[in-house]
Chain A
């Protein structure tokens, strides 16, 4: 009996994988009954399509809601352009960080992250070093970047919270000057970052 079922299954099983439109229609339940039955038969035996269905159903159900902030129509083009610029000119680690201890965000930045600690030019023992900043309500996560005074990347970390302590494996020399900043990507594709500020490590 089992063998009969298995061969029957193989005979009626749709050989083609489901198209994106079929998967989307299955999720939206906008297929005809016959198409849906055929898709169910295929999905019940095809790991690849079923996993795609499950992943996409989950993703579709959890799309973050659109921002409720009202954007005047005349700014829509500017916003879209900013999104594209942010994509093309992504912030890179290791830009020239020499110069003053506080500066250097592009004038095109639409928002800034406010840093809380360490204060600009603060001297801190290594064991006390941690970074904190104010939450950005539209953030999808933060990236903290430390560079040397030559602009070389020293440490980068991605974090969801608004504070972080560099692990012991990050070696920072006593007396040396470093710079740090926080960047974030908003859910609408725009970006924000903190000013780049200096700190130095003092003896314990």
Chain B
């Protein structure tokens, strides 16, 4: 059970009939968390105006329905308020952009797609599959088919890993988190333990693929 921060405690303790007291408590809450909320708004925006729009929208939504979201958090505070605010504010900002620009626009789309292939590619690279030569007969088409088969095999091999290990690899390669960040998130004692585990898991993948008869990329 996490203790509620004083600003939230005060805000939710004020009677909804006392408009002035609510305003005072709300201003104190906003003052305390403005930096964090702006930080989140800035992370999903591409310019100053979008940032301010998103920030304003988040404040409106947090205040809506007599602070419904904040009351829900207070009823079951299983995390720090600031961490929860980051998650909620980011979702609200993304919702705003999706509504305004459509699902395909955005921060996440192109950049995310760009890194999404990294795990497959990096694992393939580690397994020396990146150097597939095109044969005279098949040319580029044969190479593409072979790479697709290898990637499929990799995807299947990934599914056989423990969930924690699969999550580790995806955070490391798909989401590009540093070993330091992963250590904090997944409770590894240090970044070195993350590196070590990543190497072990890559070794497991290699062994799995070898058992499936994939030892070398060269036909």
Segment at the A interface, from B24-32, B95-103, B120-128, B142-150:
B24-32
A51 to B87, CA, bound (A): 12
A76 to chain B, nearest CB (A): 6
Q: How distant is B181 from chain A, measured CB to nearest CB, in Å?
A: 6
Within 8 A of A (CB), among B56-92: 56, 59, 73, 76, 78-80, 82-84, 86-88, 90-91
Interface residues of A (CB under 8 A from B): 1-2, 5-6, 9, 20-21, 23-31, 37, 40-41, 43-45, 47, 50-64, 66-67, 76-77, 79-81, 83-84, 87, 90, 140-141, 143, 158, 185, 187-189
Q: Is the pair A189, B34 in contact by a Cβ cutoff of 8 Å?
A: yes
Known: A52-B87, A140-B38. A2 touches B160 (CB 8 A): yes
Question: Are the C-beta atoms of A59 and B48 separated by less than 8 Å?
Answer: no
Secondary structure at the B interface, as helix, strand, loop or mixed, is: helix
Contact status B48-A141, CB under 8 Å:
yes
In angstroms, Cα B35 to Cα A141, docked, is 14
Interface size range of chain B in the complex: 35 or more
Say yes or no: A24 contacts B48, CB within 8 Å.
no
Q: Which residues of B contact A29 (CB under 8 A)?
A: 187
Q: Are A52 and B35 in contact (CB under 8 A)?
A: no
Whether a CB of chain A sits under 8 angstroms from the CB of B43 is: yes
* B56 & A28 in contact (Cβ 8 Å cutoff): no
Assess A59 versus B73: contact at CB under 8 Å? Given A6-B156, A185-B48.
no
CA distance A80 to B28 in the complex (A): 7
Known: A27-B185, A28-B79. Is A59-B86 also a contact (CB below 8 A)? yes
Which chain A residues lie closer than 8 Å to B175 at the CB level? 50-51, 54-55
Given A30-B78, A59-B40, answer yes or no on A20-B84 (Cβ-Cβ < 8 Å): yes
* Given A54-B171, A81-B27, 5 new contacts (CB under 8 A): A24-B79, A44-B163, A55-B175, A76-B31, A158-B48
Task: Report yes or no: A5 in contact with B79, Cβ–Cβ below 8 A.
Answer: no
Beta-carbon contact of A51 and B112 below 8 Å: yes
B15: Cβ under 8 A from any A Cβ: no
Given contacts A52-B87, A56-B83, A189-B34, contact A31 B187 (CB under 8 A): no
Given A81-B27, A143-B48: A20 and B87 interface contact (C-beta under 8 Å): yes
